[in-house]
Every structure is written in C-alpha cells, then in structure tokens.
Amino acid sequence: MYVYVSSSMEKIELLQSVSLFWDLPNEQLGYIAHQMIPKKYTSGEYFFLEDSEGEQCFFVIRGSVKVTRLSKDGREVILAILSEGEFFGEMSLLDGDARSANVIALEDTKVFTLNRQDFLNVIKENPLIAIELLKVLGQRLRKSDRQITSLSLSDAEKRIALCILRIADEQGTIQRGLVSIIKMPIQQDLANMSGTSRETVSRTLKLFETEGFITRDGRKLIILDYKKFGREFDF
C-alpha cells in the first residue's frame, strides 16, 4: 500500500462516484474530501485482517475487493465483492468491535480512507449520509439473507447459478435481453462465494454453456436469456 497525492478538485470528482455522498452539496463534499487520504493497494494485498482493530473506513475509487472469512476447516468464504463507488470498514467504526472480516484487493485498487473520528463526525453532521448509510447496510443485509438461503441448498449447480444471478444483479449490463458481466470473479473466487470447489465451478459453467444458458469469453460472461436462467434456478 502507498499513499499518493490528489488535488482537492480531483478528490471531489472521484468522491462523486461514491453513492453515500450523492445527495451532498459540493461544498460539504469538499470538506469531507479534505479529510480523506488517497491510497493504492496492489492485487492480492490485504487492507486488514479479521479481528484487528478498526481505525479507518475505506471508499473504493477504482478496482474491487473481496470481503472474506475463514471457515473452521480453513477454507475461504467470500461474503461480498465490493467495487467502485462502494465502501467498507464502517462496521467496526460504528460498533467499536473488531473487524468482522478480512478485506483483500482483487486487482490494483485505489481507495480514499477516513479515520474513525472523522467518519463518525461526518455521519453526525450529515443526516443525509446517515440515511444513505442505513440504506446500504439494509441492502447488504438483504443480500446476506439471500446468500444464507442459497448456501443452504444442497445442489451445487443451483448455488453457482444463484451466485451468477447475484453478480449479474450487482454488475451486469442489459442489452437486447442479454445480460453481460464484463469481469467475472476467477473460478476459485466463484467457488468460495458459492460454497463449492473450483472443479465443480468449472464443470458447471461448461454445462451452463452447453445447455445454452450462458456464453463466455475470458472473464466476460453473458447470460443469454436472463428470465429463463432465473426461472430455471431461482426459487
């Protein structure tokens, strides 16, 4: 990780991509931007470890990260993938407890950080941010509820399909009925998101392709008939 320099104007422009700040007038955004420190992390680098003390909140400006925990038998479980415009590290600042999970860069990633006291002050002083924050936390809870339900399914094929549908909901773009996911997670990460092995993911993706549900080109995945795919595997 290294700290880099960014002008105030540039910081404000970049912060405008963070949904938490969408309703804020530029003047207030400028004030918050002033307190933020821009940092760069390389692919695979840890932002922090589960159970460490929370000192900062992170806002993703470029790139993406995975939020993980280790299962009892040492397997990585991916709770979420967060990308541009999203934030993480807020939970331990809000409840004063330790970090609830590990966060690791999935690619070279630029973030802005805000330290604990500045983060808490920003929330206290801006009810619009507090409401937006609650909205995002509510959405994350909904996603986690869906993930718990889907992980309880005994059928790995279904779990992988639901995982693809979830990524499509979060990152997909629709064009003439086709839903494209430009940068799918690597197969091992897909496996860790859907509680199965990389081999099963590889086999299942091939099966979905043969059955005409998807096509793939490198990291790009297209769902050919989103409704049909959803009907087949959703519950």
Binding residues (CB under 6 A) for ligand CMP: these are: 54, 67, 79-80, 88-92, 99-101, 103, 140, 144
The whole-angstrom separation of Cα 86 and Cα 109 is 12
Complex with ligand CMP: residue 43 or 144, whichever CB lies closer:
144
Which is nearer to ligand CMP, 137 or 174 (by Cβ)? 137
Distances in whole angstroms, Cα of residue 141 to Cα of each of 45, 146, 149: 26, 9, 12
Q: How far is the CB of 68 from ligand CMP (least distance, A)?
A: 9
Our CB check for ligand CMP shows the closer of 162 and 205 to be 162
> Least distance in Å: CB of 207 to ligand CMP?
28
Type of residue found at 174: I
Nearer to ligand CMP, 195 or 214 (CB): 195
Paired tokens of 182? 């430009």
> Cβ atoms within 10 A of the Cβ of 81, count?
19
Q: Give the residue with the Cβ less far from ligand CMP, 83 or 100.
A: 100
* Closest listed residue to residue 163, CA positions, set 78, 87, 69, 62: 78
Shortest reach from residue 117's CB to ligand CMP, in Å: 15
Place of tokens 């909904």: 142
The distance of closest approach from Cβ of residue 72 to ligand CMP in the complex, given in angstroms and rounded to an integer, is: 18
Distance in angstroms (rounded) separating the CA atoms of residues 110 and 95: 26
* Ramachandran angles phi, psi of 17, nearest 5°: -85, -5
Rounded to the nearest whole angstrom, what is the least distance from the CB of residue 92 to ligand CMP in the complex?
Answer: 3
Smallest separation, CB 136 to ligand CMP (Å): 9
Q: Which residues contact 162 (CB under 8 A, 6 or more apart)?
A: 146, 150, 153, 194, 233, 234
Instruction: Provide, rounded to whole angstroms, the least separation between the CB of residue 118 and ligand CMP.
Output: 15
Q: Looking at beta carbons only, is 67 or 221 nearer to ligand CMP?
A: 67
Q: Output 59 or 233, the one with its CB closest to ligand CMP.
A: 59
Q: What DSSP assignment string belongs to 120-165?
A: HHHHHH-HHHHHHHHHHHHHHHHHHHHHHHHHT-S-HHHHHHHHHH
